[in-house]
Amino acid sequence: MKTIKHHLTDDLLMRYSAGTLPEAFSLVVATHISLCDECRAQLGSFDAVGGELVDDVAPVAMSDESLAATLRMIIEQKSDEAEVEAPRESGVFPTPLQNYVSGDLKDVKWRKIGGGVSQMVLQTGDDASVRLLRIPAGTAVPDHGHNGTELTLVLKGAFVDEHDRFAAGDVEVANEDLNHTPVAEAGEDCICLAASDAPLVFKGLIPRLAQKFARI
């Protein structure tokens, strides 16, 4: 993995640590931190702070059944350990993403959405959506803005927009203030993992017509 220039924000890492992110965003965060030493270390710091806060919470009275319920949970967890899936072999996709795809890049079931771009929508909760995108080398994604937040993690290749260049491992955090036209660099298709909590805002008529069909 080349040097990562674009990282997750502290707010996203703190919300991931606290378990308050939508599942779609959590998948992008987990995939990025599996590639990025810097964000993984920062997440560890937030986890440690969260642990300290828990230690400072005043104790509360427990019911008589609490111990028995805890023991049952431990026993049930141990009985399930044999069913835990073994780590997958390394590939283009880190393990968190492989678990959602049930494989690696070669196993993705692409669906064309126009302009040469293909996608695979991954199954997560309803509060946000996440998809794999394949943008052919040299192809531009239609000019668009955002109604909410969009996280785009590059897994393979690179893209450029009016603001910067994003290569493998980089993540772009977009909000309502960002309008851009991402273009996959020549020489290699760009494979991205993108999560959003609101529909994109396309300026062109054709992209707007295709938006409902593509679920973006």
Residue 209 has pLDDT above 90, yes or no: no
What average pLDDT does this structure show over 21-35?
96
| Closest listed residue to residue 206, CA positions, set 144, 137, 130 | 144
| Closest listed residue to residue 149, CA positions, set 197, 192, 181 | 197
- pTM, two decimals, is 0.77
Question: What domains lie within the chain, and their CATH numbers?
Answer: 1-216 (2.60.120.10)
Q: What are the residues whose beta carbons fall under 8 Å from the beta carbon of 133, sequence distance 6 or more?
A: 117, 118, 119, 190, 191, 192, 193, 194
Tokens 């609101």 identify what position?
198
Selection from 77-81, 129-133, 195-199, 203-207 with the highest mean pLDDT: 129-133
Residue 22 has pLDDT above 90, yes or no: yes
The answer to whether 97 and 153 are in contact (CB under 8 A) is: no
Amino acid 73: pLDDT: 60
Over pLDDT 90: what percentage of the chain?
Answer: 58
The answer to whether 134 and 169 are in contact (CB under 8 A) is: no
First and final C-alpha spacing in the chain: 29
What average pLDDT does this structure show over 81-92?
49
Amino acid 58: pLDDT: 55
Residue 12 has pLDDT above 60, yes or no: yes
